[in-house]
Amino acid sequence: MSGLDKVMKPRSIAVIGASTKEHTIGSDIMKRLTDYGFTGPIYPVNPKGGEILGLKVYRNVLEIEGDVDLAIIVVNAKFVLDTIDQCHEKGVGGLCVISAGFKETGAQGAELERALLAKVREYNMRCVGPNCLGVVNTHPGVRMDGCFAESLPERGDIGFVSQSGALGGGILNILKDLNLGFAQFISIGNQADVNAETAMEYWENEDDVKQILLYMESIQNPANFRALASRISKKKPILALKAGRSAAGASAASSHTGSLAGADKAANALLMQSGVIREYSLENLFATAKVFANCPIPKGDRVAIITNSGGPGIMATDAVCEYGMQMAQLSDATKETLRSFLPAAASVKNPVDMIASAPIEHYKQTLETVIADENVDMIVVIYLPFLGLKDIDVARAVMDIKERHPEKPIVGVFMTTNSFFAQLSEMKVTVPFFMYAEQAVDGLNRLNQQRLWVNKPVGQIPTFSVDKDRARAIIRESIDQGREQLTTRESIDVLEAYGVRVCQSGFAVDEQEAVAIADRIGYPVVMKMTSKTTSHKSDVGGVRVNIQSADELRAQYRDLVEKLKARDLLEGLEGVIIQEMVKGSREMVCGIASDPQYGHMVMFGLGGVFIEVLKDVIFRLAPLTDVDAEEMIRGVKAYKLLEGARGTTPAQMDQLRDCLLRISQLVTDFPCITELDINPLIVSEKNGEGIAVDGRVKVDMEKARAQLA
């Protein structure tokens, strides 16, 4: 048996801290194990000895005659380490530490938890917890309810990980009402050893687990999570409810990219790049789980709607279109068959409206006919109570047809009383039923999302030929001078070293040099100050555009110097950058923000003055794949502008993609870069190139010194 098998598929269990006292955890764990019918021997352990539920109580785990795979520990935190020592001596391989009193209590508890983990590692054990609800396996060969939720588990196909014990317990208590069941459940608690990633990897090849649900408040190792989840989600759906969506503190970041980033944007990017379906409420999490539990993955996104009322059919149609799925075009043969038995007033187009007088036979015949149409991938069946037709009879008919035709997803929308759904909770349900059309279509969208992810190419992380030594030298010079903020000139030079298309430019320290560079580049030009003390140039009039001649350039240069002098900022002036004037009305932005937990995020979107107003931006975690970069470009609302709206030159999409990939490579090579802005990245009207006309790079001094040492 593997280490986690000892926890999740134990052949024998010792409950250390078992109790005869009613409504204690030690008592409830014993009751759940026996009531659910654990298939192996249960050994209660308590220093007082005696008998619990007809079973002999052992004074310590070493007294037990037989082998023990799993020890469920329910003793005071101060006795846990000694208990683990005894378990090791006994040969126990799996631990589930229910006991609280560890890192959740403060520094002393955290130290105790570190000692616990050290023993677990030393003894080559696997440990769930501490401070957790317990573990469940509903397989008939195991039947382990090793937690203290009030209700016994319902059998199903879900592997569920909960970081919150109380929430997990509440969910176990309402499974029957949800028409859902679990295959396995792990309450990870403080996740000292076993965490969500451990569980996902364990369930990857477990035939009993068909879908994985996660309730998470934190992701301990984002890089490892991404590697595991992106692989496992190709085999079975992973649904996640990630709590803690606050972006507090993001406004403290000094760059545009930083101010738009937040911890939740990083988490969202991670889940999306990993193929994890994110839900934002428990209601939606279990609604989606219900769909995956009862529906196959569709072959396409063409949806047919069958209804006995026009209004809900129209609302379902709207929802299908809003999700970007297609309304199926029913074949002429299908329409002809429908006309043969439906009344003349019925509509045989999609949505198929059988009208309010539709008897149960029309539901059966219509569903059978629509399922057979090769143009249909998924079906919504809508019922409203009319003319004495019973909701439960229609539901049974739909489920009977589903049993005969399991190849296509069918969801039901039954706008009827709550008593109908109460009846369903007492039945074996094989079709997901919802009260409202939007809920049903949302479920179909999640099925389609999984289909698209499974069929999506994995993507490659390209490596470009770059001048890494030049970039290193520029960053080194900045930190040697005690500056975490690179100047504009240095920032642009770093970007150019990594092959980002930047403006033709030159650096001038005085008026004469500025004119000479402008004469070489050709007018019109842009003049930008570069300063070691002033970050945002536009705030001090440090950007002058559309300069048409040498005389105008001289006048603008002198005006800049006067304004800086008046604000006592002249001392920080390093010089000016003279750039070609790039003409283009489409200003994009791309950049890097750094999250302390998730690492570097790459941003792309609509830039210029609109960036912080419209916030049409997308984040993904570095390193980017080519597929990630393409999705970012296509995912912004401004994509229509890039395609060439109103006769403008279409953007060079491959070149924009490479720009994102190159800055991703830059921060992978130099993790000390904490922020990077290219704003604006102007799409040239001449040839559609994305040209970086401004750049801003910031580094972490401590990391930079360590990396460049």
Secondary structure in 3-state letters for 88-119: HHHCCCEEEECCCCCHHHCHHHHHHHHHHHHH
Q: 301-434 belongs to which CATH class? A: alpha beta
Question: Does the pLDDT at position 166 exceed 70?
Answer: yes
| Residue ranges per structural domain of the chain | 3-209, 301-434, 504-581, 586-708
Q: How many CB atoms within 10 Å of residue 345? A: 10
**Backbone phi and psi for residue 511, each to the nearest 5 degrees, phi listed first:** -60, -45
Reported confidence tier of residue 251, pLDDT bands at 50, 70, 90: very low
Tokens representing residue 5 in the block = 């098998």
Per-residue pLDDT of 379-418, as tens digits, reads: 999 999 998 899 999 999 999 999 999 999 999 999 999 9
DSSP E strand boundaries for 485-559 = 505-508, 525-531, 543-547
Reported confidence tier of residue 572, pLDDT bands at 50, 70, 90: confident
Per-residue pLDDT of 337-354, as tens digits, reads: 999 999 999 999 999 999
pLDDT the model gives residue 535: 62
- Residue, of 614 and 230, whose pLDDT is higher: 230
- Residue, of 413 and 644, whose pLDDT is higher: 413
Reported confidence tier of residue 168, pLDDT bands at 50, 70, 90: confident
Reported confidence tier of residue 248, pLDDT bands at 50, 70, 90: very low
545: left (phi over 0), alpha (psi -120 to 50) or beta: beta
Rounded to whole angstroms, the Cα distance separating 295 from 159 reads 17
Q: Which of 359, 360, 520, 369 is nearest to 350 (CA)?
A: 369
Question: Does the pLDDT at position 275 exceed 80?
Answer: yes
Fold for the domain defined by 504-581: Dna Ligase; domain 1 (3.30.1490)
Tokens representing residue 372 in the block = 């057979």
Rounded to whole angstroms, the Cα distance separating 552 from 622 reads 43
Secondary structure in 3-state letters for 608-633: HHHHHHHCCEEEEECCCCHHHHHHHH
- 3-209 domain in CATH 3.40.50.720? yes
End-to-end CA distance of the chain: 47
pLDDT the model gives residue 537: 66
Rounded to whole angstroms, the Cα distance separating 705 from 83 reads 46
Reported confidence tier of residue 249, pLDDT bands at 50, 70, 90: very low
Using DSSP bridges, classify how beta strands 134-137 and 182-187 pair: parallel, antiparallel or unpaired.
antiparallel
**Backbone phi and psi for residue 182, each to the nearest 5 degrees, phi listed first:** -105, 145
Check if the beta carbon of residue 157 is closer than 8 Å to that of residue 211.
Answer: yes
pLDDT the model gives residue 250: 35
Point out the least confidently predicted range of 10-24, 250-264, 289-303, 626-640: 250-264
Give me the mean pLDDT over the 200-214 stretch: 97
Question: Does the pLDDT at position 247 exceed 80?
Answer: no
Question: Does the pLDDT at position 645 exceed 90?
Answer: no
Rounded to whole angstroms, the Cα distance separating 513 from 524 reads 16
pLDDT the model gives residue 262: 52
Reported confidence tier of residue 246, pLDDT bands at 50, 70, 90: low
pLDDT the model gives residue 171: 83
pLDDT the model gives residue 261: 47
Q: Which of 199, 224, 222, 221 is nearest to 212 (CA)?
A: 199
Tokens representing residue 84 in the block = 């683990």
Per-residue pLDDT of 69-112, as tens digits, reads: 999 999 999 999 999 999 999 999 999 999 999 999 999 999 99
Rounded to whole angstroms, the Cα distance separating 656 from 683 reads 9
Element (H, E) at 473: helix 468-480
Element (H, E) at 561: helix 550-566
Give me the mean pLDDT over the 656-673 stretch: 98
What does 158-188 look like in DSSP terms, one character per residue? EEEEES-HHHHHHHHHHHHHHT--EEEEEE-
What's the chain's average pLDDT?
92
Give me the mean pLDDT over the 36-56 stretch: 96
DSSP annotation of 303: E
Rounded to whole angstroms, the Cα distance separating 462 from 394 reads 55
How many Cα neighbours within 13 Å face the side chain of 577? Answer: 24
Residue type, 578: I
Rounded to whole angstroms, the Cα distance separating 336 from 332 reads 6
Residue type, 532: K
DSSP annotation of 153: P
**Backbone phi and psi for residue 157, each to the nearest 5 degrees, phi listed first:** -115, 10
Same topology between domain 3-209 and domain 301-434: yes
Rounded to whole angstroms, the Cα distance separating 154 from 214 reads 18
Is 78 exposed, middle or buried (CB count within 10 Å of its CB: 0-12, 13-18, 19+)?
A: exposed
Rounded to whole angstroms, the Cα distance separating 476 from 470 reads 10
Instruction: Tell me the angle at which helices 550-566 and 511-521 cross, rounded to the nearest 10 degrees.
Output: 140
Per-residue pLDDT of 497-530, as tens digits, reads: 999 999 888 999 999 999 999 999 999 999 999 8
pLDDT the model gives residue 170: 81
Q: 586-708 belongs to which CATH class? A: alpha beta
Per-residue pLDDT of 535-545, as tens digits, reads: 666 667 899 99
Question: Does the pLDDT at position 358 exceed 80?
Answer: yes
Measured between alpha carbons, how far is residue 50 from residues 22, 58, 67, 408, 657 in Å? 16, 8, 20, 57, 71
